[in-house]
Amino acid sequence: MSVKTVATRPFAGQKPGTSGLRKKVKVFSQPGYLENFVQSIFDTLNGQQGQTLVLGGDGRYFNDVAIQIILRMAAAAGFGRVLVGQGGILSTPAASAVIRKRAAFGGIILSASHNPGGVEGDFGIKYNLANGGPANETFTDAVYQRTQGITEYRYVEADDIDLSRLGETRIGAMTVEVIDPVADYAELLESLFDFERIAALLARPGFRMRFDAMHAVTGPYAKALLERRLGAPAGTVVNGTPLADFGGGHPDPNPVYAADLVNAMADPGLGLSFGAASDGDGDRNMIVGSNFIVSPSDSLAILTANYSLIPAYAKGLAGVARSMPTSCAVDRVAADFGIPCFETPTGWKFFGSLLDAGKATLCGEESSGTGSNHVREKDGLWAVLYWLNILAARNESVEQIVRAHWQKYGRNVYSRHDYEGVESAKAEAMFTALRGKLPTLAGQTIGGMRVRMADDFSYTDPVDGARSEHQGVRILLEDGSRVVFRLSGTGTEGATIRLYLERYVADPAQHSVPTQQALAPLIALAESVAQITATTGRTKPDVIS
Ligand code: G16
């Protein structure tokens, strides 16, 4: 086996963000760019000799090229075996499931998640640890340091591996095993839910479901689970063929980018009772009832409130966790059940230690991510099956379930406004000015609302003591409402400003007030404090979810 060494020079900006390194395909396909980052991951690892690596991605443009490069580099790094999904495909939760089931050393997931794909689109890469979860900041910081001092990368010369056929081949001393990307994951999900009951629901006259895979990775997974194992009629999964450019769409399951699904769910002629969508790599979910969109924060609270209906969780939840900008709806359920509720920074990597330590069973983020201790990633289809299991057990509509939840716990009216592609310097200026105001805000009354506290969120991991600073500016009001500002860590063009708005409404008579109307005073407060329009020139958000 001959290991080739190639001299290289550092690229600027190879710093992983909220979830790995995400850049334009054009950036990733520069000679040496991917190789430098992968070598920096391998150089940061310790003890991988002879061990197993899991490798796969969401099938976006450049996925196939990147996989062949990484296989040759993994052989040079001394891995004994690489498990790669057939066709180079593994959804993010499936990769996590495979890492855990096969006791792998870790995994490399190729995805830019909900970001658009294609030649002009985005690509991404992240490393997951042996627990199946995204590497923590200590690891990603070390990888970044390494990228800035790298001088060479290594690979084993070999022809491209045929990824279309299951089975084993070798690169030097390393075995490459092409695995079924769906099997381990589908088996795991089947072990968590009441499949018989869900199958009966799907066969019920009058119950009609649509799952929109948005031409992304979940198509084959959804077809296997919903149509083949659970017997949903063929055609339940739409846009189910994964495409390298997601059919030109933006595979982000929100009311703007999944408008087709939202419109179908509002069309009485179609008679759809339950709709769902997932994102590029299959970790996000959107849940829609008949003409009724469920907010992701509410979804987390409702999954928690209904845990006793789900075989895997019926014995009890150790606790729940949500990212800081996620609404406090789940906090109320946790308080009701007397279980802990953790508030973490944005990004799934912060849930890993809580799940590993058995402190939390369910986790979620406002950005359409929910999951549990079954893997260490958020999991789109898991959330869909959880909802189906609840619907099958309760025999009520999605809207009835949500409204009954609000009736019992009150409604945390919630929305996120995204300003995308803002000039980075302007976004930075806005945050600098905002942070400068923080010490003076507490006690002020703005637009008739009194500020209780304002800070830049920081977090100390309760398990390993790791500290994370500057995780989002929070303005907490005396009536329990919140306004949060963050800069996205996953975008690839300019800056994306995220404004999160939350107001608690106990009175059921007010629960049907349209969301943006109910939040109008907070939107005005956010503008007056942060001066978004004055600083960025933007008069309205690009996406409201
Ligand atoms: C966004 C969301 C986060 C999420 C992250 C990664 O981060 O706000 O809640 O954890 O994406 O999710 P995915 O892997 O599905 O892209 P940011 O930093 O852009 O706000």
On whether both 61 and 96 belong to a single domain, the answer is: yes
Mean pLDDT to the nearest integer, 252-273: 95
Please report the atom of ligand 1 found closest to the CA of residue 280.
15
Q: Which of 152-161, 205-214, 387-396, 503-512 has the lowest mean pLDDT?
A: 503-512
Which of 91, 113, 353, 372 is catalytic? The answer is: 113
Residue 113 among the catalytic residues: yes
Give 158's contacts (C-beta < 8 A, 6+ positions apart). 71, 72, 75, 171, 172
Residue 2, pLDDT score? 86
CA of 347 to the centre of ligand 1 (A): 6
Give 182's contacts (C-beta < 8 A, 6+ positions apart). 94, 220, 221, 224
CA of 516 to the centre of ligand 1 (A): 23
On whether both 46 and 20 belong to a single domain, the answer is: yes
What would the pLDDT profile of 191-207 be if each residue is shown by its tens digit? 999 999 999 999 999 99
What would the pLDDT profile of 116-173 be if each residue is shown by its tens digit? 999 999 999 999 999 999 999 899 999 999 999 999 999 999 999 999 999 999 999 9
Residue 430, pLDDT score? 93
Residue 490 confidence class, pLDDT cut points 50, 70, 90? confident
What would the pLDDT profile of 264-274 be if each residue is shown by its tens digit? 999 999 999 99
Decide: 79 in ligand 1 pocket, CB within 6 A. no
CA of 114 to the centre of ligand 1 (A): 9
On whether both 360 and 502 belong to a single domain, the answer is: no
Q: Please, are residues 120 and 62 in contact by the beta-carbon 8 Å criterion?
A: no
**Percent of the chain clearing pLDDT 90 (strictly above):** 94
On whether both 237 and 164 belong to a single domain, the answer is: no
Q: Which of 179, 212, 237 represents a domain boundary (last residue)?
A: 179
Please report the atom of ligand 1 found closest to the CA of residue 283.
15
On whether both 202 and 142 belong to a single domain, the answer is: no
Decide: 322 in ligand 1 pocket, CB within 6 A. no
Residue 89, pLDDT score? 96
Q: Which of 112, 144, 179 represents a domain boundary (last residue)?
A: 179
Decide: 490 in ligand 1 pocket, CB within 6 A. yes
Identify the residue whose C-alpha is closest to ligand 1 atom 1: 490
Range of the domain at 237: 185-409
CA of 36 to the centre of ligand 1 (A): 24
What would the pLDDT profile of 402-441 be if each residue is shown by its tens digit? 999 999 999 999 999 999 999 999 999 999 999 999 999 9
Residue 492 confidence class, pLDDT cut points 50, 70, 90? confident
On whether both 273 and 392 belong to a single domain, the answer is: yes
On whether both 264 and 383 belong to a single domain, the answer is: yes
User: To test the ligand 1 pocket, which listed residue (22, 365, 367) has its Cβ within 8 A of the most ligand atoms?
Assistant: 367
- Specify the number of domains making up the chain: 3
> Alpha-carbon distance 126 to 16, whole Å?
8
Identify the residue whose C-alpha is closest to ligand 1 atom 15: 113
On whether both 16 and 129 belong to a single domain, the answer is: yes
Please report the atom of ligand 1 found closest to the CA of residue 111.
14
On whether both 209 and 165 belong to a single domain, the answer is: no
What would the pLDDT profile of 13-54 be if each residue is shown by its tens digit? 999 988 899 999 999 999 999 999 999 999 999 999 999 999
Decide: 323 in ligand 1 pocket, CB within 6 A. yes
Q: Which of 144, 179, 214 represents a domain boundary (last residue)?
A: 179
Residue 420 maps to which CATH number?
A: 3.30.310.50
> Alpha-carbon distance 174 to 364, whole Å?
38
Identify the residue whose C-alpha is closest to ligand 1 atom 11: 490
Residue 234 maps to which CATH number?
A: 3.40.120.10
Q: At what angle do helices 296-305 and 380-394 cross, to 10 degrees?
A: 50
- Global pTM reads 0.94
Q: Please, are residues 52 and 95 in contact by the beta-carbon 8 Å criterion?
A: no
Q: What contacts 24+ positions apart, CB below 8 Å, involve 348-351?
A: 348/19, 348/133, 348/134, 348/283, 348/376, 348/377, 348/378, 349/19, 349/133, 349/134, 349/135, 349/136, 349/137, 350/323, 350/459, 350/461, 350/468, 351/133, 351/321, 351/376
Decide: 283 in ligand 1 pocket, CB within 6 A. yes
Decide: 231 in ligand 1 pocket, CB within 6 A. no
Residue 140, pLDDT score? 95
Decide: 19 in ligand 1 pocket, CB within 6 A. yes
Decide: 346 in ligand 1 pocket, CB within 6 A. yes
Decide: 471 in ligand 1 pocket, CB within 6 A. no
On whether both 392 and 426 belong to a single domain, the answer is: no
What would the pLDDT profile of 206-217 be if each residue is shown by its tens digit? 999 999 999 999
> Alpha-carbon distance 415 to 325, whole Å?
10
> Strands, E, within 93-141: which ranges?
106-110, 122-128
Mean pLDDT of the chain: 96
Residue 18, pLDDT score? 84
Please report the atom of ligand 1 found closest to the CA of residue 365.
9
Mean pLDDT to the nearest integer, 352-369: 97
On whether both 254 and 150 belong to a single domain, the answer is: no
What would the pLDDT profile of 75-99 be if each residue is shown by its tens digit? 999 999 999 999 999 999 999 999 9
On whether both 223 and 92 belong to a single domain, the answer is: no
CA of 491 to the centre of ligand 1 (A): 9
